[in-house]
């Protein structure tokens, strides 16, 4: 995987400006904001809809009113704890829904049958669909968002990994460690069959070392690249360290079709590996024998994770994923440094660190509300959650996967395909300075976002295949507000769920106008009461349903809806 | 350049058949007329450039105080004494029927034959719910039928099949419909998406919704919001064509009120868009506030009050718009109609207002209308109770049907598709358009698009049995200008591009000849 050529295509403003999907108004420089002085001390403000929904927006893929009610029944700290309490799960594996896959019967899992390269594509899609169904399972849990965090941070691509079973095992690894230990996960990922394939660990031998993983491990997964102080010296590591790390990892390879990894000591470099001053000139003793691989890997991980920069780099990734993309000196000093300190003290368990961040005054500072742009997954899965869409369950896998495939495709066309990040650096929204989140929005993706929500709001619904459309039960959503017959209450309560920032009076009026087409507000109450009195009468249902569809469609067309 | 064989099924073709009545060409000169219309008006009959403007009067217009049944005043005075316009103040259209005194401009248009007043328009079992009745008017459904598409949406879909996929395109660069206002009415709803776009206001007509409202807050969220709003504006797919149209034209009438008339502002924008060259077929505007349950008149002078103010706005806006169209040379291309979900109760209430009613008069206006009064004054009973309403004389869909057929040129089968059933045609349009298809088969010839055109236009035709086909272009004197196709054609659909090249501005005809029969249509090259 040659990441550098791929990155070259998008880095630099000149290249971006020539890109057909270039967003011309995107940041030319990082925006300046007044220093946010709120730190990691616990949030002490009122635990209201605004703050509870902020937390849910950031750690879930959308939420329904019931989730918000639940969050409000707790306090800030309890709510975070509940979201981070990810119990062990027992999941049915992905199944085949493709009669063309002759290696497995429809409805049965392909994860236990023999590898057949002819069916990689269909099985990879099955994995994506299975994953999407889990995301849309709408648990009150941060697990799924953290899995996407890890998938972005320790990226692999289905298309490159090849064997869908590898990808499945890899996914389970991320899933199991979603709120686990950063160091242990990196240790396991280093010899994970999918990663061995993806970054060429499988061809890294004593006679022919391959530096790909040794480089990305340091540059992207752990210590990160600091300023280049001299040729090949990136402050936190050097080109020599890349070579040394690669030599430490020689001899590991994946075992086809098991899918496991093994260490072949004959292919291992037995000489000592000397690291640079960045690592305090650490020497990892060269070893021979069958346990040499494990022992040297442990040493390597220990060395890398002893670096404060590893903890800081990781905390910056968390910050950009969950809070905001611009990290100024105040954030660096008041948030990143103390979080990194906590992470190291916790021996790289991330749960206490996430808890500190999500419970903090800083996370809830007004400046951090609504400052993210929804990822395509927030748009697709998030909107389905928000609209409480009735989705098919696993009882009919063909039906379920057919829909999930459409959802994977929607997000994919909006430029986020689960399982296939653009390269090992993950999605550029989390590193492309200075545009960051703004890369999600361009002249192609923005209309797609609106078309998607327009379909969900329409009477016809989102057609998957015809006759099985997802239609939004707008009457039920309206009914869940405290006074559905009162326009002001209806619109303002929905707005509190739909948007992370408060709408202005002009916008509220706009939404009311859309809904009422200029009629006086009391008419809505009259019509709503007529419907309530005759809830089965189509001529009473339709007038209110039509107005509500117009309202929901317009609400999701507002630019504010794209904020997270 | 030949053979776009797909996506054409729903396009409208003129068919060659046994009864095809083509313009005979004698010694190279075009001599006869078609359907009795003089040749000089053929271009105007093409129908392709005709525009419909719909004015929605939101809230239920009190028709009884707009079109005054002067011969019913004895009984009316008993039923609505507190709000009735004095007979002496009525602007008389006929001896028995007058207009509200706030509408002198429309009375003048009536005298000039540019206003058609249709009495007591409604539908059986009229629904008095604003929302339900609006849905009925928009969808053209029966009172007990629920449709999720709008009648104009269905009409536009016959011209823009498959919309929005593939649009805008070279042939269809502009939105099918434009609504001035915040959100699209279901009137324009097509089978999958609305068949048009909303433009927020006519005063800053390029502020397309939902691009933005107030300035975004000075926060990081506001920073991203501003960016997203800019991108919304940037990505409006018809943004460019609208911008171009606005830049290409200015209003010419001095009659538009400077302030205080939102309808006039909207129509001013519409005139500019039409003058700017948009091929958009339908414009929708609205005037709000007709739900006059209270104080629709002032007790001191019943010719004033909120209803009079609304009718003044309606009058002033239409008069200015019509004046502008005339000055812009567009008068013959534009027809307008009003619609309101219901009229109001005959019996007034004690709050100087009226409650929801049923049938009401409807106005159709423009240079192309057959002017005058259609229908008779409603008969007001001697004793009017709260239950009494005005019986329907004309089903509202008869007006739709007549305008679609005679103004927009929608032919029989399509009319059925759009309106779902047949309605009696009413004499509303003064110069009915040439039908777009004829019975029979053999070959079919579509109206060229765009038309009028500069640069190039596309001629489409379908051949249902293999034969030699000639497609040629003649000028208005019948002289051959261009041979577009000549040779054996297998059955199929064909599209040919005609470059205007050296053709000077004016009216031309293109003629399809096959098996000794001919079909032809007029086209117009623009300056």
Q: For B44-77, how does the pLDDT look when each residue is reduced to its tens digit (9 = 90+)?
A: 333 468 999 999 999 999 999 999 999 999 999 9
pLDDT band at A150 (very low <50, low <70, confident <90, very high): very high
Q: Nearest-CA neighbor of A26 among A304, A505, A439? A: A439
Q: Rounded CA gap, A526 and B293, in Å?
A: 14
A515 → chain B, closest CA residue? B183
Three-class DSSP category at A350? coil
Measured in degrees and rounded to the nearest 5, phi and psi for residue B158 equal: -70, -25
Residue range(s) defining the domain that contains residue A357: 309-368
B89–chain A nearest CA distance, Å: 30
Q: Which residues of A touch B289 (CB under 8 A)?
A: 518
Q: Residue A530: enclosing H or E segment and its boundaries?
A: helix A521-533
Domain contains A340:
yes
- DSSP β-ladder status, B115-122 and B372-374: parallel
Domains of chain B: 13-46+438-525 (2.60.40.1930), 51-198+287-419 (3.40.720)
Pick the residue of B135, B150, B183 with the most A CBs within 10 A to test the interface with A by mutation.
B183
CB-nearest to B288 from A23, A326, A518 is A518
CA-based nearest distance B318→chain A, Å = 21
Q: Which of residues 160-219 of B touch A (CB under 8 A)?
A: 182-183, 185-186, 191-193, 209-214, 217, 219
Dist CA B303 CA B307 (whole Å)? 9
Does the distance separating the beta carbons of A557 and B210 come in below 8 Å? yes
Q: Which residue on chain B is closest to A451 by alpha carbon?
A: B193
Write the DSSP assignment of B413-440 as a string of letters: HHHHHHHSS-----S-BSSPPPPS--SS
Count CB atoms within 10 A of the CB of residue A532.
14
Confidence of residue B20 (pLDDT cuts 50, 70, 90): very low
Residue B55 confidence (pLDDT) = 98
pLDDT at B240 over 90: no
pLDDT reported for residue A164: 96
Strand order in the sheet with B443-446: B13-15, B443-446, B456-463, B492-499
B92-131 pLDDT, tens digit each: 999 999 999 999 999 999 999 999 999 999 999 999 888 8
d(CA A58, CA A43): 16
| Portion of chain A with pLDDT greater than 90, in percent | 83
Chain B hits for A521, CB-CB cut-off 8 Å, are none
Do A514 and B219 count as a contact with CB atoms less than 8 A apart?
Answer: no
Of A368, A454, A558, the CB nearest to B193: A454
Total domains in chain A come to 2
Report yes or no: A499 and A382 within 8 Å, Cβ to Cβ. no
Residue A507 lies inside a defined structural domain of this protein: yes
Write down which residue in A368, A384, A413 finishes a domain.
A368
| Number of Cβ pairs < 8 A linking chain A and chain B | 147
Q: How confident is the model at residue A17 (pLDDT cuts 50, 70, 90)?
A: very low
For residues B219 and A367, the answer to whether their CB atoms sit within 8 Å is yes
Contact assignment for A559 to B225 by CB distance below 8 Å: yes
Residue A28 has pLDDT above 80, yes or no: yes
Q: Say if A186 falls within a structural domain.
A: no
Residues B184 and A514: their CA atoms lie apart, in Å, by 8
* pLDDT band, residue B516 (cuts 50/70/90): low
**B 232-251 residues inside an 8 A Cβ radius of A:** 232, 234-235, 237
User: Which of A421-435, A532-546, B205-219, B246-260 shows the lowest per-residue confidence on average (mean pLDDT)?
Assistant: B205-219
Identify the burial level of A68 via C-beta atoms within 10 angstroms of its C-beta, where 0-12 means exposed, 13-18 middle and 19 or more buried.
Answer: middle
For the stretch A282-332, pLDDT in tens is 999 999 999 999 999 999 999 999 999 999 999 999 999 999 999 999 999
Which chain A residue has its CA at the smallest distance from B191's CA? A460
Q: Where are the alpha helices (DSSP H) in A74-163?
A: 76-84, 120-135, 143-153, 158-161
Chain B residue closest in CA terms to A436: B224
- What pLDDT was estimated at residue B34? 29
**Chain B contact probe: residue of A508, A517, A529, A554 with most B CBs at under 10 A:** A517
Domain membership flag for residue A478 = yes
Beta strands (DSSP E) in A190-312 are: 252-255, 260-263, 273-274, 283-284
User: Which residues in chain A have their CB less than 8 angstroms from residue B222's CB?
Assistant: 501
**Position of tokens 């009079």?**
B308
- When CB atoms are compared, the residue of B134, B148, B225 closest to A459 is B148
Interface of B with A in 462-491 (CB under 8 A): none
| Residues in chain A closer than 8 A to B209 (CB atoms) | 510, 557
Confidence band of B433 (pLDDT split at 50, 70, 90): low
Q: Nearest residue of B to residue A556 by CA position?
A: B210
Interface test with A, best of B221, B286, B310 (most A CBs within 10 A): B221
Closest CA to B179 of B156, B158, B157, B196: B196
Question: Mind telling me how many Å the CA of B32 is from chain A's nearest CA?
Answer: 50
Domain limit, last residue, from A351, A368, A385: A368
Residue A8: its pLDDT value, please? 36
Q: Classify residue A411: in a domain, yes or no.
A: no
Q: Pick from A518, A538, A554: which is nearest to B146 by CB?
A: A538
**Does any CB of chain A come closer than 8 Å to the CB of residue B230?**
yes
- The reply to whether residue B289 touches residue A518, judged by beta carbons under 8 angstroms, is yes
Cβ–Cβ contact A527 with B under 8 A: yes
Q: What is the chain A residue with the closest CA to B229?
A: A559
Cβ of B221 and A369 within 8 Å?
yes
Q: Are A314 and A182 in contact (CB under 8 A)?
A: yes
A344 located within any domain: yes
């Amino acid at each position: 995987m040659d990441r550098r050529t791929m990155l070259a295509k998008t880095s630099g403003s000149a290249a971006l400006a020539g890109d057909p999907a270039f967003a011309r108004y995107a940041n030319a420089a990082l925006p300046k904001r007044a220093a946010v002085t709120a730190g990691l001390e616990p949030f002490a403000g009122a635990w209201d809809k605004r703050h509870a929904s902020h937390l849910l927006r950031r750690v879930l893929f959308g939420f329904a009113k019931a989730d918000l009610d639940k969050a409000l029944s707790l306090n800030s700290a309890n709510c975070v704890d509940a979201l981070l309490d990810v119990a062990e799960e027992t999941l049915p594996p992905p199944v085949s829904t493709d009669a063309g896959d002759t290696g497995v019967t429809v409805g049965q899992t392909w994860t236990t049958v023999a590898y057949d390269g002819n069916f990689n594509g269909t099985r990879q899609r099955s994995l994506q669909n299975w994953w999407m169904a889990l995301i849309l399972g709408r648990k009150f849990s941060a697990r799924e968002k953290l899995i996407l965090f890890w998938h972005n941070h320790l990226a692999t691509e289905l298309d490159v990994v090849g064997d869908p079973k590898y990808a499945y095992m890899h996914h389970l690894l991320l899933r199991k460690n979603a709120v686990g230990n950063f160091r242990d996960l990196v240790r396991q990922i280093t010899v994970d069959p999918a990663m061995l394939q993806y970054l060429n660990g499988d061809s890294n031998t004593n006679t022919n070392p391959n530096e790909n993983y040794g480089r990305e491990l340091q540059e992207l997964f752990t210590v990160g690249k600091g300023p280049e102080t001299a040729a090949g010296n990136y402050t936190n590591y050097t080109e020599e360290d890349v070579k040394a790390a690669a030599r430490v990892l020689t001899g590991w390879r994946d075992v086809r079709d098991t899918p496991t990894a093994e260490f072949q000591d004959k292919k291992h470099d037995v000489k000592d590996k000397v690291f640079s001053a960045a690592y305090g000139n650490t020497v990892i003793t060269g070893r021979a024998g069958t346990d040499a691989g494990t022992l040297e890997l442990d040493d390597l991980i220990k060395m890398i994770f002893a670096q404060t920069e590893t903890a800081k780099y990781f905390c910056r990734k968390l910050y950009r994923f969950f809070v905001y993309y611009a990290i100024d000196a105040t954030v660096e000093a008041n948030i990143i440094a103390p979080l990194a300190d906590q992470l190291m003290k916790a021996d790289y368990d991330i749960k206490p660190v996430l808890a500190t961040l999500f419970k903090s005054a800083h996370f809830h500072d007004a400046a951090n509300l609504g400052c993210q742009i929804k990822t395509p997954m927030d748009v697709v899965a998030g909107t389905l959650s928000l609209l409480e869409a009735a989705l098919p369950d696993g009882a009919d896998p063909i039906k379920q996967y057919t829909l999930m495939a459409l959802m994977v495709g929607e997000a994919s066309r909006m430029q986020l395909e689960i399982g296939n990040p653009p390269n090992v650096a993950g999605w550029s929204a989390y590193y492309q300075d200075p545009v960051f989140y703004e890369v999600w929005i361009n002249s192609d993706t923005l209309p797609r976002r609106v078309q998607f929500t327009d379909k969900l709001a329409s009477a016809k619904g989102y057609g998957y295949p015809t006759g099985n459309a997802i239609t939004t039960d707008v009457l039920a959503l309206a009914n869940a507000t405290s006074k559905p017959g009162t326009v002001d209450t209806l619109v303002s309560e929905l707005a509190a769920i739909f948007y992370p920032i408060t709408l202005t009076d002009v916008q509220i009026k706009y939404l009311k106008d859309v809904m009422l087409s200029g009629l006086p507000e009391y008419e809505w109450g009259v019509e709503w009461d007529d419907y309530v009195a005759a809830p089965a009468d189509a001529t009473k249902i339709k007038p209110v349903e039509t107005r509500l569809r117009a309202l929901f469609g317009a609400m999701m067309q507002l630019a504010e809806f794209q904020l997270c | 350049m030949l053979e776009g064989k797909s996506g054409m099924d729903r396009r409208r073709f003129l068919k060659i058949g046994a009864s095809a009545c083509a313009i005979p060409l004698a010694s190279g000169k075009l001599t006869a007329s078609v359907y009795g219309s003089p040749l000089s008006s053929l271009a105007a009959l093409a129908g392709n450039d005709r525009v419909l403007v719909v004015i929605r009067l939101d809230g239920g217009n009190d028709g009884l105080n707009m079109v005054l049944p002067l011969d019913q005043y004895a009984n009316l005075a008993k039923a609505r004494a507190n709000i009735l316009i004095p007979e002496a103040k009525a602007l008389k259209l006929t001896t028995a029927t007058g207009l509200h005194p706030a509408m002198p401009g429309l009375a003048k248009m009536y005298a000039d034959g540019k206003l058609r007043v249709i009495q007591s328009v409604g539908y059986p079992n009229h629904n008095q719910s604003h929302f339900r009745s609006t849905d009925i008017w928009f969808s053209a459904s029966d009172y007990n039928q629920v449709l999720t598409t709008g009648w104009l949406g269905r009409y536009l879909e016959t011209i823009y099949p498959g919309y929005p996929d593939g649009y805008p395109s070279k042939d269809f660069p502009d939105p099918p419909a434009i609504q001035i206002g915040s959100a699209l009415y279901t009137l324009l709803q097509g089978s999958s998406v609305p068949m048009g776009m909303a433009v927020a206001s006519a005063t800053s007509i390029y502020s397309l919704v939902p691009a933005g409202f107030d300035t975004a807050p000075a926060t990081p969220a506001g920073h991203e919001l501003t960016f997203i709003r800019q991108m919304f504006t940037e990505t409006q797919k018809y943004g460019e064509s609208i911008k171009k149209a606005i830049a290409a034209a200015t209003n010419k009438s001095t009659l538009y009120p400077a302030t205080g008339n939102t309808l006039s502002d909207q129509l001013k924008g519409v005139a500019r868009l039409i003058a700017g060259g948009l091929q958009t077929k339908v414009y929708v505007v609205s005037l709000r506030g007709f739900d006059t349950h209270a104080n629709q008149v002032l007790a001191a002078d019943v010719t004033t009050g909120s209803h009079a103010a609304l009718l003044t706005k309606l009058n002033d806006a239409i008069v200015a718009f019509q004046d502008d169209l005339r000055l812009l040379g567009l008068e013959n291309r534009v027809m307008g109609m009003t619609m309101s979900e219901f009229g109001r109760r005959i019996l007034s209430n004690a709050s100087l207002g009226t409650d929801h009613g049923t049938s009401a008069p409807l106005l159709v206006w423009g240079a192309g209308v057959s002017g005058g009064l259609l229908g008779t004054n409603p008969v007001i009973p001697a004793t009017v109770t709260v239950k009494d309403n005005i019986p329907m004389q004309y089903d509202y869909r008869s007006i739709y049907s007549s305008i679609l057929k005679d103004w927009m040129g929608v032919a029989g089968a399509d009319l059925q598709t759009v309106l779902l059933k047949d309605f009696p045609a009413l004499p509303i349009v003064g110069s009915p358009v040439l039908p777009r298809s004829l019975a029979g088969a053999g070959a079919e010839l579509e109206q060229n698009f765009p038309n009028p055109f500069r640069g190039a236009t596309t001629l489409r035709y379908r051949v249902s049995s293999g034969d030699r086909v000639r497609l040629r272009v003649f000028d208005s004197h019948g002289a051959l200008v261009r041979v577009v196709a000549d040779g054996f054609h297998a059955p199929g659909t064909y599209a040919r591009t005609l470059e205007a090249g050296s053709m000077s501005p004016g009216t031309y005809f293109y003629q399809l000849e096959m098996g000794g029969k001919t079909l032809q249509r007029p086209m117009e090259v623009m300056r």
